[in-house]
Structure 1
Amino acid sequence: MSTPILMLILLTLPWFVTMVATRRPEWRRWGGVVGVALVFAFTGIGHFVKTEPMARMMPEAIPWRHEIVLVSGVLELALAVLVLVPGPRREVGLGIAVLLVLLLPINVHAAISRIPMGGHAWGPVYLLIRVPLQLILIAWTYVFLVRAHARDRA
């Protein structure tokens, strides 16, 4: 259950630090971007540290679950780096939002099946935490990567 809390801390702490440290809007936005990078670095590393438990989160009918977890870990680490690159930030942000939507059914399956990974063992009640967390991640990504980037280009 500590994973969602840790993810929220990683997401918001850089932004809070920049809010206190500076009045410059571009640095405050940078804090929000760094938060996204930290979350995806954390979750990407998790794919290599907790490969088997994450593979069990997917329905058994899905082939190559272990390999999918590893590839998605590489993808999340790449996204963590790419959000720090100003040029493609909007597109990367849109990709992250789509990825978060696509991954939600896996979290629903894991919670319904009570897979002992993270809080999923709590069962469907865990979705009361996980779904809002996904929505926060999507909203944060939109605000700091998609909308902010479009505003910077205008």
Structure 2
Amino acid sequence: MLPWHQYLIGVLFVIAGMMHFWKPKIYERILPPYIPAHGSMVIISGIAEMILGFMIMNKNSQVEAAWGIIILLILFLPVHIYMLKNEKAAMKLPKWLLILRLPLQFALMYWAYLYT
């Protein structure tokens, strides 16, 4: 049996991935303009989050999933920076919250790293 916090990170990523399908326009709006095919990227990243979320909840695939989550979170860093710089992408969130999201990404990376 895996620790409860490993299931928690898995469920969080599955839910986050599902949100890409429930609210795709939100995710399209936060993508920087230099990223092509916003609609496709939202779908691909949502699928990747769900797959990695399920994989990290499986002892046989947890290491690969953890590294995949870390890579995905690194790839998401430009999105968080873009949200800080672009008022439309910021979705009216307070600046302090947008700033807090950056170290949160690194905390999530460390959390995933625990399962490597």
TM-score greater than 0.5 by the shorter chain: yes
Asked if structure 1 preserves the Cα contact closer than 8 Å seen for 2:16 and 2:49, the reply is yes
The aligned residue for residue 76 of structure 1 is 49
Equivalent residues, number: 115
TM-score, with length taken from structure 1 = 0.67
Matched, 1:138 2:73: no
* 1:13 aligned residue: none
Q: Any idea what SS the aligned residue of 1:108 has?
A: helix
Q: Distance in 2 between matches of 1:116 and 1:104?
A: 14
- Residue 91 of structure 1: how far off its partner (Å): 1.7
Structure 2 CA distance for aligned equivalents of residues 41 and 94 of structure 1? 16
Give the secondary-structure state (helix, strand or coil) at the position aligned to 1:61: coil
Long gaps (5+) in structure 2: none
Distance 1:99 1:30 in 2: 23
- The reply on whether 1:122 has 2:94 as its aligned counterpart is yes
Off by >3 Å, runs of 4+ in structure 1: none
Gaps of at least 5 residues in structure 1 are 1-26, 147-154
Could you tell me how far 1:122 is from its partner in structure 2? 2.6
Equivalent residue of 1:121, what SS? coil
The one of 9, 20, 24 aligned to 1:51? 24
Quick one: which amino acid aligns to residue 99 of structure 1? Answer: L
Measure how far apart 1:116 and its partner are. Answer: 4.4
- Scaled by the length of structure 2, what TM-score is found? 0.87
Partner of 1:95: 68
- Secondary structure at 2:57 match in 1: coil
Q: RMSD across aligned C-alpha pairs, in angstroms?
A: 1.7
Which one has the bigger helix percentage?
1
State how far apart, in whole Å, the 1-side matches of 2:90 and 2:80 are.
12
Q: Specify whether residues 130 and 80 from structure 1 end up closer, same or farther in structure 2 by C-alpha distance, changes over 3 A only.
A: same
Is 1:59–1:109's contact at 8 Å kept on the other side of the alignment? yes
Query: Structure 1, residues 27-50: CA drift from partner, whole Å, max 9, x if none?
Result: 5x5212101111101210111112
Of 1, 10, 14, 1:41 maps to 14
